[in-house]
């Protein structure tokens, strides 16, 4: 009888009752401070949070409270109570940061939206990598790793142990401002698949600066990735679609990036991720200073003039980044990034578009960086266009005919030659850059800039557009360096029906 009773009790012990969802069918992003879900604008299905039946179908039920899960292997009511009971066992020493982390834990509907305070001694093999506009980046091994789920049988958190992470120190953040923290809060409210996630905060015991614990990307930023890898047309379109999908989710969440440039596009496991949301300003700024923060070559002309930052400004920046990714040329790297460049950008100056760039891409790039906000595509339109292209099969006998196929074939051939030339001559370490060309975020303050317009030279180039593209096929020009020639190709605006 005693044995039967023991077995009976064993069978009644709570067990994990979760289901793993298919990332290909559902997007794993949920709100940190709200139980509502961001719509994905038809780019895949969303994970429902407020639909109990859907939650049960996707996730299963909690083995303890028997309620439908709210995330992959996640029960919000049970886990929030666990976090609350642990509040007295840790502190950052900063009331605002403590409340920030506590709020994220109480409201987390998904394991990747949980922030933690992590003592600095929990990191090993800390190595300096690089400096950004307002901080330094290190790699490190987090011995415990971030929380993934609560193991009901073992009654403890399951973690990704010995996890490699990036630590981003925030300069002068020992005196971190409420304004900066609020900006970070607004951008950590949503977990997005194509966006670098923050797992917590720690503090450098020597400098007393706070450090954000972020996903680590082995291949570095976009430029590092291009220097190490040959990337053909098809792969570039796929990756541009992924970046646009991340930007779409950011905008759907009611946010804007404000500092979108190639240095904030990171690559890990051959996939691109958007980083540094809301971090293009000093951590200790306590009042709104006159001017704007950012990287001048990627900033929309209306923002340079002091206009309120809107989603369309991110689209402009996407266009500059897209052209850099396609041409593999750094924008404005051979001239000073000063008042004169700001004036020229407002007057219509844009980076050179390589002659081998397929026309459909050139048209989209020019549309993104149009001086008139209303002429730029919406984020949804941009994402849908790139998704359609990423799924298109351009072949000699394809429905789109030989023309696009020939352009793509020529593009891949020249791109491969460029990569081989860079590899042989190690140009990645010897890019000629003007000493006043600055690619980190900084405070900018320009006065009396002209009203943004498109280049007045556009009409003069209309007749030569087709000839320029054809000339690239007949006489391909292989650039042996990444210097930017400051000229423009005037291409007709994109015709979405033809695309």
Q: Mention every residue, 6+ apart, whose C-beta is less than 8 A from residue 185.
A: 100
pLDDT tens-digit series, residues 112-151: 888 999 999 999 999 999 887 677 899 999 999 999 999 9
pLDDT at site 42: 34
Pick the residue with more confidence: 465 or 432?
A: 432
Residue 77 has pLDDT above 50, yes or no: yes
Residue 8 has pLDDT above 60, yes or no: no
Q: Give the mean pLDDT of 248-258.
A: 84
In the chain, what percentage of residues exceed pLDDT 90?
41
As beta bridge partners, residue 212 has: 168, 201
The residues near 91 (Cβ < 8 Å, ≥ 6 apart) are 98, 117
Residue 58: the pLDDT is 79
Mean pLDDT of 256-273: 93
As a CATH number, domain 99-215 is 3.30.200.20
- Output the pLDDT for position 313: 95
pLDDT at 100: 87
- 325-370 pLDDT, tens digit each: 999 999 999 999 999 999 999 999 999 999 889 988 999 999 999 9
For residues 375 and 362, what is the distance between their CA atoms, to the nearest angstrom?
15
Of 44-58, 362-376, 463-477, the one with minimum mean pLDDT is: 463-477
Contacts within 8 Å (CB) and 24+ apart, 139-145: 139/164, 139/165, 139/166, 139/167, 139/216, 140/164, 140/165, 140/166, 140/167, 141/165, 142/118, 142/213, 144/118
Between 18 and 382, whose confidence is greater? 382
Give the pLDDT confidence of 190-219 residue by residue, as tens digits.
Answer: 667 788 888 999 999 998 888 889 999 999
Q: Is the pLDDT of residue 307 over 50?
A: yes
Stretch 57-80: mean pLDDT, rounded? 86
The pLDDT value recorded for residue 184 is: 67
Distances (CA, A) of 235 to 101, 272, 386, 447: 38, 11, 12, 42
Most confident of 68-82, 176-190, 308-322, 433-447: 308-322
What is the percent of the chain where pLDDT is above 70?
Answer: 74
Domain boundaries, the chain: 14-73, 99-215, 220-282+291-423+435-444
Mean pLDDT, range 166-176, rounded to an integer: 82
**How many other β-carbons are positioned within 10 Å of the β-carbon of residue 118?**
23
User: Which residues are registered as beta bridge partners of 294?
Assistant: 442
Q: Please classify residue 217 by burial: count the beta carbons closer than 10 Å to its beta carbon, then call 0-12 exposed, 13-18 middle and 19+ buried.
A: buried
pLDDT of residue 33: 39
Where is pLDDT greater, at 58 or 37?
A: 58
Q: What is the mean pLDDT of the segment spanning 468-475? A: 30
Considering the four listed CATH numbers 3.40.50.300, 3.50.50.60, 2.60.40.10, 1.10.510.10, the one that applies to the domain covering 220-282+291-423+435-444 is: 1.10.510.10
- The whole-number pLDDT of residue 35 equals 41
pLDDT of residue 6: 45
CA dist., res. 187 & res. 275, Å (int):
11
Residue 140: per-residue pLDDT: 97
Residue 243 · residue 221 · CB < 8 Å: no
- pTM for the complete prediction? 0.81
pLDDT at residue 22 in the model: 66
Q: What is the reported pLDDT for 409?
A: 86
Query: Distance between terminal CA atoms of the chain?
Result: 75
Give the chain's mean pLDDT: 78
Predicted confidence band of residue 49 (pLDDT cuts 50, 70, 90): low
Residue 276 neighbours by CB distance under 10 Å: 26
Residue located via tokens 């000339």: 471
Give the mean model confidence (pLDDT) for residues 273-288.
67
Ranked by mean pLDDT, the top range of 85-94, 190-199, 430-439 is: 85-94
39 pLDDT band, cuts 50/70/90, is very low
| pLDDT given at position 497 | 33
Task: State the average pLDDT over residues 417-430.
Answer: 69
pLDDT of amino acid 451: 94
Residue-level pLDDT at 23: 60
444-460 residue pLDDT tens? 989 889 999 998 653 32
Identify how many contiguous H helices and E strands the chain contains and give both numbers: 15, 14
Task: Give Cα 465 distance to the centre of its chain.
Answer: 33
């Amino acid at each position: 009888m005693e044995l039967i009773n023991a077995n009976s009790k064993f069978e009644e012990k709570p067990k994990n009752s979760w289901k793993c969802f298919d990332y290909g069918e559902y997007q794993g992003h949920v709100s940190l401070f709200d139980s509502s879900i961001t719509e994905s604008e038809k780019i895949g299905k969303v994970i429902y949070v407020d639909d109990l039946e859907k939650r049960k179908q996707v996730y299963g039920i909690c083995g303890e409270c028997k309620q439908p899960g709210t995330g992959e292997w996640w029960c919000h009511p049970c886990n929030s109570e666990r976090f609350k009971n642990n509040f007295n066992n840790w502190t950052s020493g900063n009331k605002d940061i403590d409340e920030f982390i506590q709020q994220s834990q109480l409201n987390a509907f998904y394991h990747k939206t949980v922030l933690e305070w992590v003592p600095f001694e929990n990191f090993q093999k800390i190595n300096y990598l690089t400096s950004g506009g307002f901080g330094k980046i290190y790699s490190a091994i987090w011995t415990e790793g971030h929380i993934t789920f609560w193991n009901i049988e073992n009654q403890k958190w399951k973690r990704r142990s010995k996890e490699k992470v990036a630590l981003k120190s925030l300069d002068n953040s020992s005196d971190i401002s409420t304004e900066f923290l609020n900006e970070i809060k607004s951008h950590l409210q949503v977990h997005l698949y194509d966006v670098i996630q923050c797992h917590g905060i720690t503090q450098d015991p020597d400098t007393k600066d706070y450090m954000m614990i972020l996903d680590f990307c082995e291949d570095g930023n976009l430029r590092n990735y291009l220097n190490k890898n040959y990337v053909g047309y098809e792969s570039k379109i796929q990756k541009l679609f992924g970046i646009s999908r991340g930007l779409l989710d950011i905008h759907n969440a009611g946010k804007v990036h404000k500092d979108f440039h190639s240095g904030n596009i990171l690559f890990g496991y051959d996939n691109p991720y958007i980083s540094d949301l809301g971090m293009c300003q000093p951590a200790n700024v306590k009042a709104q200073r006159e001017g704007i923060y950012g990287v001048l070559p990627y900033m929309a002309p209306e923002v340079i003039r002091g206009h309120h930052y809107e989603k369309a400004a991110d689209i402009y920046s996407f266009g500059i980044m897209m052209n850099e990714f396609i041409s593999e040329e750094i924008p404005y790297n051979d001239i000073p990034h000063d008042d004169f460049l700001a004036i020229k950008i407002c007057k219509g100056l844009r980076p050179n578009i390589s002659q081998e760039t397929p026309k459909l891409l050139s048209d989209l790039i020019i549309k993104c960086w149009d001086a008139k906000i209303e002429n730029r595509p919406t984020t949804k339109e941009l994402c849908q266009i790139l998704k359609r292209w990423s799924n298109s099969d351009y072949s000699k006998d394809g429905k789109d005919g030989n023309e696009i196929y020939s352009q793509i074939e020529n593009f891949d051939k020249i791109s491969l030659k460029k990569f081989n030339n860079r590899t042989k001559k190690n140009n990645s370490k010897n890019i000629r850059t003007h000493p006043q060309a600055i690619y980190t975020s900084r405070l900018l303050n320009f006065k009396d800039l002209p009203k943004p317009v498109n280049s007045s030279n556009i009409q003069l180039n209309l007749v030569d557009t087709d000839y320029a593209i054809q000339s690239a096929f007949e006489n391909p020009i292989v650039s042996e360096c990444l210097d930017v020639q400051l000229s423009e190709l005037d291409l007709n605006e994109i015709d979405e029906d033809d695309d």
